[in-house]
Structure formats: structure tokens, C-alpha cells
Amino acid sequence: MQIYDIKDPSQIKNLSMKQLDVLAQDIRHFLIQNISKTGGHLSSNLGIVEITIAMHYVFSSPKDKMIFDVGHQSYVHKILTGRSTKFATLRKLNGLSGYQKRSESPHDCWEAGHSSTSLSAALGYAIARDVQHQNYEVIAVIGDGALAGGMSLEALNDIGAQKRKMIIIFNDNAMSISKNRGGVEKRITSIRSSHLYRSMKNDIKVTLPHNKMGDETLKVFSSIRDRIKSGLIDAPLFQEFNLDYLGPVDGHNIPALIKVFEAAKEHDGPIVVHVRTKKGKGYRYAEQDKIGQWHGVSPFNIQTGQPLMKLPINEKTWSNIISDGLIELAKKNKDVVAITPAMAQGSKLLKFAKLFPDRFFDCGIAEEHAITMAGAMSLGGLRPFVSIYSSFLQRAYDQMNHDLGRMDLPVVIGIDRAGLVGDDGETHQGVFDISFLRSIPNLILSQPKDAKEAYDLLYTAFATKHPFCIRYPRGQTAVTDKIDFHLISIGSWERFDIGSDPKAIIISYGPDVDRIIHTIHENNLSMIVVNARFFKPIDQEMCKELFNLDLPIYVYETDVKIGGLSSAVLEYQNEIENHIHILGIDDHYVQHGSIRSLRKKEHIDLESLFREIERYGQD
Ligand SMILES: Cc1ncc(C[n+]2csc(CCOP(=O)(O)OP(=O)(O)O)c2C)c(N)n1
Ligand SMILES: CC(=O)[C@@H](O)[C@H](O)COP(=O)(O)O
Ligand SMILES: [Mg+2]
């Protein structure tokens, strides 16, 4: 069967095991060819080819619900559900999404992009099915990295209690983006090497025919069922969550996968099918990768494995700039430590890890934990730097507020991938952090316009005793000659007067500031440009000066407007000019007390409202 002929997954149900194997090889070839041109998530998709084929062979999508955790490994599912002709548009404007997308296909029953949501989503579907007396299978596919994420563990806890029929296909490749770590990983290692695993593996490998299912298959099914019933399958971790378990199974053996999925389908209640796979399977460079270089790739040369686009010699990624600065500061101060929630490769912290192995902490996909742990590290006397992608920091909002902001702890947060990230789409655009962080008391939020300012802000952050965030975008910028550090006054903006008769004021931030200045010069215009390098606190003195100039003000922001820099400027303008009288809680935490007493203290009681109205009426 030709890949482009697949319009519906039911077409593969008539193929023989041999034909399915050929299809798997064709899909691998297709993935490598296409992703080498478009870029995308290569390794995880190469590793999940056989699992996805076996899923569509055994289950019936869209009736049965298939949920892929993160969704970065759903390309094979897209191919089998009739979307292969669109692969040239992968992750491009109006093209195929890099994740499951409900608007793209009825076979995508769920959407993600952030890790560890699949188990909660699967349980949600199972509850909806049962409450409405419907009849379909719910299948979640989750990797070993995502399984250790906090949401997954919360969901497993509930799934084990509710005992509803659902199948969890646990795709274990011993890798997150880079090497997987942590207690869950250790527990999985013990399952992989258990005697039961070996006997189970032999059952499946030895007793099952490789073409058709027959008596032998049934024998294995009942043997599996008997084992489940008699509790013989003793898989630590899953058993502790009160879940039945099958496996591990060779994830590149289609007949074995089909058989174990059939057995799981027969099972009542939740069951985990543990499948072992090789990340990057079938492409030499990706198979050998230990640090995650082939997890997500830009276009590359298939023969050499080299990226087609190289960085200009005088440019570095923002992640590298921050990480180089951090290394210099860590050389001077032994208390500086770095934390990443599973993004060492993307955040460019591997060099730091090599230089300071005892001061580097990869805590897995656990943004909430990373922030709270960093808070306590700071109380214990360390100077933590946590690197988190902007969109993943959304997970840790409570920790930013409840732990860091409220206790006013000196943790430096590198908010990587701030602003639009492009190809990954709406789940990953880092456009909300200014808006959701600005309301947190005690917190400082900044963004450098260039590499020099990045070093200075980093230095300033470590010299400050408050939670200090530095956001920086995906991509690269020009490097400086050398790394040196200067203090920047907190909350200070920079003003550039261009030309002798300015006609407008542009307030902006980040690398756009220099681009704006350049464009004004090129076009012989006269304007005032402001580098608003702090979103919180803002430069109130400079704001006043600018308001007094009586020139039109343009706030050029490349993140969401609501709650962003423009909101900060407008709020301050209103505070001075008092057009709209605003009552509300000021920028601080509210202590305990009766609600009545607190409303009075914070001047948000009705008495305060009417006093204000009266006062204004007399002005
Ligand atoms: C909340 C969140 N944090 C981090 C990421 C980045 N991320 C995407 S995939 C991935 C690794 C997932 O590993 P695993 O679940 O084992 O899948 P594999 O790629 O190995 O198949 C990470 C860390 C994310 N998508 N969401
Ligand atoms: C699936 C996922 O969340 C990551 O792999 C993400 O795509 C990485 O983005 P960068 O390519 O910007 O590191
Ligand atoms: Mg994995």
C-alpha cells in the first residue's frame, strides 16, 4: 500500500503482517524525507511507527479515542488518518500542525503541545462515555518523560481509584528530550529487567505467529488474562497506582504489539501496556543521539546529518548568551546553581552541566517543582537560576506567586522562548508571561534588547534579593566582543532621541528596539524610541517625561496586549491623570483577617468607594 493512498485508517486492517512491516519501513522513509525538508519532531516519530500502526489495526478511530501525550509524536497517526499529502506544509502558516489538532481531523479527539495531559484527558473521555452509556475505547499513548510529569501522576492516582476501562500505552524509550532521570525512571528500569518481563517477552515473542492470529494467539491472550486476574503481573509503580499491567513488549514488533493491544482491549478496567522502543529508530544519527539534538530538528542533510541553515559566525542564540553569562557568574560565585525542567538541550545548559555537574539539576518535566525547589534552595543559601520556556512557565504560575513572590525569594528565572516561537504554534507561543507575571508582588520582570544588556541584566538579577525574571526570545542575536557585567538600575528604561524634531514616541522592548532605531535612521525620520527593558517595575519618571511631551505614543508589543506593557503604561498614565478612578488591591499580598476588616484595610469597602466619589465630586 502506498502512503499517499491511505485515506482512512480502516484501510490498513486488511493488510498482512508482512505488508504492515513494509508499511512501517515506508513510513520511516517518508518521515525522514519530509522532516529533512520541513523540520519537526523526528526521533519520537521514528520510534513510534509500529505502535501507531498496531493501534490503528486493533482499534477503530475516530470511534475509539486516541490521545497522544504532548502530541509531538502524532505524525504517524496523521499519515494513517489520510493527511500524508499535507506533510510539505508541516508547521507552516495554514499548514499541518505539529501536534494533534481537532480542527484538522475527526481522528484528533484531543489537542496538546504541553506534556502530561493525556491521562487526565483519557479519564475524562472514559467518564463521559460511561456516564452516557456509550461504547468506545479510550487509548492514551504516553512516553516515559511525560509519565513522570506531575499531572500524569495525579491522573494515575485517580485512574487507579476510578477503575474505568481505558488503555494506557506506555512508550518507554528511556529518553525524555535527552536522557531521562528521576525516581520513576529508576522504577521503570527495575520493571524492564524483571524476570516477569523476560518470561512475558518470551511468551509474546515465542508463542505468537507472525502472520495471522490463531489458536496460539488465543492461548497467549488467556495466559495474559489469567496473569492479570491472578495478580501475577507484578509491575512496581503501576501496581502501586492500583493499575493492571501488560508487558514490556518489543515496540518495533507489529504482531506482538497487535496481540498485546487485543489483549488490553479485552480487559475490564484501566490497563497499562508497557512498550519498549528505540527513539530515532531507523535513522543512524537519531538513534545514536544521547542529548536530544534529533528530538526536534530544523531542515537537514540526510546523508551528513548537518543542518541546512547555519548560524552566522557573529551570532549566538539567546539561550547560549544567557548560559555563557551564567557560567561566568558561576565561576565567580560557587553558590550559583542551574535548574532545568527537562530542557537542558534547548536551554543550552549542557555546557554548564559539564563544567559544574554538582551545581546542575535536571528535575524532569516538572516546572512547578522546579520553581518551588529553587525557592527553598535560595533560602538554604544558594543562588538558583531556573531556565524555563515561557509557555511551560504557565504550569508554574502558582509556584511563582505562592512561593517565590509571596516569600520574596531571590531566584533568577530565565524565561526562554519568550514571544512568538513560530513552528510549534499556539501551545508554545510564549506571549502570556508579561501579562500573567505583572500582577505578582515583589517580582521583577525584564527583557534585554541585546547580548550586552542580557549580561548586565543577569548580573543585576544575581545582585538583587527578589524574584527576578529575564525573558528572551527563540532565535539568535549579535554577540559582544567579551562578556562583562554592569549593574542596571531596577526599573530604568533607556531613551533614544533620533533626529531634531521628533514626531512620535515608540515604546518597545527586546531586539525590536534596535530594529526600530535602525529603520528610523534609514528613513531619515525623527522620533523618540524607548527601550522598556523592565515591565515591572516600569520607569515612572520616564513615563511622566514622555506624557509631558504631548507627542503621540505608540507602544509596540509583540506579546498579548491584555496585561502587557501597554497596560502598564496606560495604568500609570491613568494613575497620574486620574481619568478613571480605580479601586482595587495594590501591588502587595493581603494578610489574614476577616474579609470585612481586609476590605476596609485595602480601601475596597463600599465606604471607600463612596468617599472617593464624594472627594472627586468636590475637586
Ligand atoms: C509542560 C511541558 N514541559 C516541557 C515540554 C517539552 N517537551 C516536549 S516533549 C518532551 C520529552 C517527552 O519525553 P517522552 O514523553 O518520553 O516522549 P518521547 O519524545 O521520548 O517519545 C519535553 C520535555 C513540554 N512539551 N511540556
Ligand atoms: C514538543 C516540545 O514541546 C519541544 O520539543 C519543543 O518543540 C521544543 O522547542 P524548541 O525547538 O524551541 O526547543
Ligand atoms: Mg521517552
Residue 410 belongs to a domain with what CATH number? 3.40.50.970
Could you say which ligand is closest to the alpha carbon of residue 40?
2
Q: Look up residue 133 and give its DSSP letter.
A: T
Could you say which ligand is closest to the alpha carbon of residue 296?
2
Q: Are the C-beta atoms of residues 495 and 501 closer than 8 Å to each other?
A: no
pTM value is: 0.94
pLDDT of residue 180: 87
Query: Is residue 384 domain-shared with residue 407, that is, in the same domain?
Result: yes
Query: Is residue 80 domain-shared with residue 184, that is, in the same domain?
Result: yes
Q: Ligand 3 centre from 134 Cα, in Å?
A: 33
Specify the residue for cell string 554538582: 358
72 Cβ below 6 A of ligand 1: yes
Check whether 56 is labelled as a binding-site residue: no
Alpha carbon distances (Å) from 422 to 88, 201, 319: 16, 43, 16
Check whether 367 is labelled as a binding-site residue: yes
Task: Report the number of distinct structural domains present in the chain.
Answer: 5
State yes or no: ipTM above 0.95. Answer: yes
417 Cβ below 6 A of ligand 2: yes
Q: What is the Cα–Cα distance from 285 to 305, expressed in whole angstroms?
A: 7
Could you say which ligand is closest to the alpha carbon of residue 366?
1
Residue 101 annotated among the catalytic residues of the structure: no
pLDDT of residue 225: 55
Residue 505 belongs to a domain with what CATH number? 3.40.50.920
- Looking at 232, 254, 285, the residue that finishes a domain is 232
pLDDT of residue 189: 82
> If you count DSSP H runs as helices and E runs as strands, how many of each does the chain have, helices first?
25, 18
Check whether 128 is labelled as a binding-site residue: no
The total number of residues written for the chain in this structure: 619
Q: What is the mean pLDDT of each successive set of 10 residues along the chain, which is 619 residues long?
A: 95 98 98 98 98 98 98 98 98 98 98 98 98 98 97 98 98 94 84 58 38 45 54 73 95 98 96 97 97 97 97 96 98 98 98 98 98 98 98 98 98 98 98 98 98 98 98 96 95 98 98 98 98 98 97 98 98 94 95 96 96 84
- Looking at 419, 450, 478, the residue that finishes a domain is 478
Please, which residues bridge with residue 142 across strands? 170
Query: Is residue 292 domain-shared with residue 404, that is, in the same domain?
Result: no
Check whether 283 is labelled as a binding-site residue: yes
Q: Are the C-beta atoms of residues 410 and 425 closer than 8 Å to each other?
A: no
Q: Which of 170, 171, 177 to mutate to test the pocket of ligand 1 (most atoms within 8 A of CB)?
A: 177
- Does residue 3 form part of some domain? no
Q: Ligand 3 centre from 327 Cα, in Å?
A: 29
Q: Look up residue 371 and give its DSSP letter.
A: H
Q: Ligand 2 centre from 531 Cα, in Å?
A: 29
pLDDT of residue 220: 52
Q: Ligand 3 centre from 179 Cα, in Å?
A: 9
- Does residue 86 form part of some domain? yes
Which of ligand 2's atoms lies nearest the C-alpha of 99?
1
Which grid coordinates are listed for 69?
Answer: 501525550
Query: Is residue 183 domain-shared with residue 114, that is, in the same domain?
Result: yes
- Does residue 367 form part of some domain? yes
Q: What is the Cα–Cα distance from 31 to 44, expressed in whole angstroms?
A: 11
